[in-house]
Structures are given as structure tokens and as C-alpha cells.
């Protein structure tokens, strides 16, 4: 993609001059990764004060091929510095300003509510900026389904990719808008898509999911109040959770999805129930998954050693384990990830890397 070197923000005092677009080599933080010969990518974050937004700041401020030029709140709050970001990102988080984002950035990561993302994302793409969206605003392709689950998204910009990076590396290179999957769908689709593609699953699937409280976002509610959540677990969104739409869209089959809120800060564990197609074998299941993820640095296949949330917390890994009852063709898969990282911020960075031709691990080994 052509980078306009003449952009200037007088209000921010940021000038993107031709000299700044000279080629630079960045040393990777991991010796096994190649050095990066790439112009610095000017990145902005819209919605930097939420849980996923703060994770984005931490990752992008230290990314060797990125210059984090602007971080905004999700509204008009006064500029402020965030204590937990001290010596990581010492600039203030400023009010949301579309013009400032356009003038200061090549690509904008949006960690906003769906309504705000639907508006801002469309404006940014129309202004020639690339977008990585963590909300659900652009995930559902079919207009009727989108009007049910995301009514503020009137249309999806041309060049939008449903950005599950393990499935769309080539498409991301040309994407104008990368619509990151939800945290629950990421765990489910990574586990199920290789099996569905290989014709190994017969009929509908059931997904029983448990999520830490940070998955509900930063705005407090009775459900996320400590006194309500501590020492308890609760199902919610039965037959009414919007993540069902994107799971069914990508899998092409009905999904019974029941999420649960559990008293953890972060992490998702999904237990997925399906029936194998007649003739499908345990070996075929393992081979389909191994073939799909042989070159996927952030998917770890555990076989019959079922994963746990503590194995993936604070990482960009998705761990997948499975067991099969051959006599009844029953398949149980357990898929785990960190909802704020692989389910949100670090998956967005993985997508950014692929959009700009970088090794997808860049900035994510820690």
C-alpha cells in the first residue's frame, strides 16, 4: 500500500516527512525472527482506555516496526495519562478525534463500542486509512443478520476481511479493514474450522464457554460487580449472544452457544461438543488439525492433554485439545485463550503484522 509521506497534523505537531519514511532495520526482540527492513508504521489507537485498548498500547508502544503516534479515549474525556502505562507510553490519552487520526496515522486500531466503530471505521477507510477493528461492527457479512446483531453498521467497506489470521494471511495483505473475530469465536473457530473443512463433523455443534470478567468490558454493571461475581458462575446470552452469528457464518452450520461468566480476571475455556461424520477417525481429526496449524506459531495442539486457562493467560496462544469416543462418534474439544490478547489485542497486532508483510510473530514474543 502506498504511504502518503506528506501527511501533517498541525494540531498535534506531527509531520510525516519523506525523511521519516527512509528504510530502517529493526532488531527483533527474539533472535529467531528476522530483522525488519521496513518503514515505521504510524499506528493510532481509538479506545485506548478499555481493557483491550490498554493491552494494545502496551504491545504497540514496544513493537519494533511501529511508531505509536496517537492514543485516544472512546469519547470526549479530558486528556490524561494512565499510571499503568508509565515508561511504556508516556503521552496522554486524548479525546477521540477523527481528523487527528487521519492526519497522524497510516492504520488505526479501534477498540470501541460497535456503534462508534461502525461510524469511525467507515470514515477512516473513506479517508484512505487502513483499519483494524476489535469490535463486532464489521464481522457479519449478510445484511439481514447484521441488522439484527449490529444495526448501526449500515454497510461493510470494500476490502473488509474477517481477520482470523491463521485463516486469511494472503487476504490481509490487501485488506483495507481487518475485522478481528470476537474472543469466543476465535477459540471456537480455530478448533472447529479445520475439521469442518475436512468434512469430519456431522451436524450441529454445541459450544459451552467460560470467560473471565474482563470479557464483559470496563463499564461496571451489576453482573460484573465483585459481590455478584465472586464465588459464583452464571450462564448468559442463551440463544441471544451476538457471537453466535459469526460462528455460524464461518462454520456454515447451526451452533448452540452458551457463554458463562466465571470469577477470573481473564481467560476463556470452551468445551465444544460435536459428532464425527460416518467413517471419520481419530487419526483424521489429528491430521486435519496438524495440517492446518503446522505453520501457525500461536496455535498449540495438545492432543488428549486438555488445556487450561493458566496455560495461555497473558499470551497470544490458543491451545486446543480433544478426545474422541469412537464407538459413538462423539468428539469433545477444549480450546483456551486469553480473551484480552489472542481474543482481542494481540490478535489485532498479529493481523497488523500480516497486513504490512511482517513476520506475524513480530512484537508478540515476550
Scan for cell 449500515, then name that residue: 154
Tell me the sheet residues that pair with 261: 211, 234
> How far is the first Cα of the chain from the last one, in angstroms, to the nearest whole number?
29
Q: What is the 3-state secondary structure (H, E, C) of the chain?
A: CCCCCCCEECCCCEECCHHHHCCEEECCCCCCCCCEEECCEEEEEECCCCHHHHHHHHHHCCCCCEEEEEEECCCCCCCECCHHHCCCCCCCEECCCHHHHHHHCCEEEECCCHHHHHHHHHHHHHCCCEEEECCCCCCCCCHHHHHHHCCCCCCCCCCEEECCHHHCHHHHCCCCEEECCCHHHHHHHHHHHHHHHCCCEEEEEEEEEEECHHHHCCCCCCCCCHHHHCCCCEECCCCCCCHHHHHHHHHCCCEEEEEEECCCCCCEEEEEEEEECCCCCHHHHHHHHHHHCCCCCCEEEEECCCCCHHHCCCCCCEEEEEEEECCCCEEEEEEEECCCCCCCHHHHHHHHHHHCCCCCCCCCCC
Set 109, 183, 318, 336: catalytic member: 183
Dmax over CA atoms of the chain, in Å, equals 70
The answer to whether 105 is a known catalytic residue is no
CA dist 55 and 215 (Å) reads 13
CB-based contacts of 58: which residues, under 8 Å, 6+ apart?
Answer: 85, 88, 89
The residues assigned a catalytic role are 183
Amino acid at each position: 500500500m502506498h504511504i502518503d509521506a506528506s501527511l501533517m497534523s498541525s494540531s498535534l505537531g506531527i509531520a510525516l516527512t519523506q525523511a521519516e519514511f527512509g528504510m530502517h532495520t529493526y532488531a527483533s526482540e527474539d533472535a529467531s525472527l528476522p530483522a525488519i527492513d521496513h518503514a515505521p508504521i504510524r499506528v493510532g489507537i481509538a479506545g485506548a482506555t478499555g481493557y483491550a485498548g490498554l493491552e494494545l498500547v502496551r504491545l504497540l508502544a514496544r513493537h519494533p516496526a511501529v511508531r505509536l503516534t496517537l492514543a485516544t479515549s472512546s469519547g470526549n474525556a479530558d486528556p490524561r495519562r494512565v499510571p499503568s502505562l508509565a515508561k511504556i507510553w508516556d503521552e496522554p490519552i486524548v479525546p477521540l478525534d477523527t481528523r487527528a487520526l487521519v492526519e497522524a496515522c497510516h492504520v488505526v486500531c479501534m477498540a470501541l463500542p460497535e456503534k462508534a466503530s461502525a461510524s469511525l471505521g467507515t470514515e477512516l477507510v473513506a479517508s484512505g486509512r487502513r483499519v483494524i477493528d476489535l469490535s463486532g461492527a464489521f464481522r457479519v457479512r449478510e445484511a439481514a443478520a447484521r441488522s439484527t446483531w449490529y444495526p448501526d453498521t449500515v454497510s461493510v467497506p470494500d476490502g473488509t476481511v474477517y481477520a482470523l489470521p491463521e485463516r486469511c494471511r494472503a487476504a490481509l495483505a490487501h485488506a483495507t479493514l481487518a475485522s478481528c473475530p470476537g474472543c469466543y469465536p476465535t477459540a471456537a473457530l480455530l478448533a472447529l474450522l479445520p475439521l469442518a473443512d475436512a468434512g469430519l463433523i456431522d451436524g450441529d455443534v454445541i459450544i459451552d464457554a467460560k470467560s473471565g470478567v474482563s470479557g464483559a468490558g470496563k463499564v461496571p454493571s451489576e453482573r460484573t460487580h465483585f459481590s455478584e461475581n465472586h464465588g459464583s458462575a452464571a450462564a448468559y446470552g442463551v440463544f441471544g449472544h451476538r457471537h453466535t452469528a459469526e460462528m455460524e457464518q464461518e462454520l456454515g452450520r447451526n451452533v448452540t452457544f452458551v457463554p458463562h461468566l466465571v470469577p477470573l480476571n481473564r481467560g476463556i475455556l470452551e468445551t465444544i461438543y460435536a459428532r464425527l461424520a460416518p467413517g471419520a477417525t481419530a487419526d483424521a481429526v489429528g491430521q486435519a488439525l496438524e495440517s492446518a496449524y503446522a505453520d501457525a506459531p500461536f496455535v498449540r495442539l495438545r492432543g488428549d492433554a486438555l488445556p487450561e486457562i493458566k496455560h495461555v493467560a497473558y499470551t497470544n496462544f490458543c491451545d486446543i485439545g480433544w478426545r474422541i469416543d469412537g464407538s459413538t462418534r462423539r468428539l469433545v474439544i477444549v480450546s483456551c485463550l486469553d480473551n484480552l490478547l489472542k481474543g482481542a489485542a494481540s490478535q489485532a497486532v498479529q493481523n497488523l503484522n500480516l497486513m504490512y508483510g511482517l513476520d506475524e510473530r513480530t512484537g508478540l514474543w515476550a
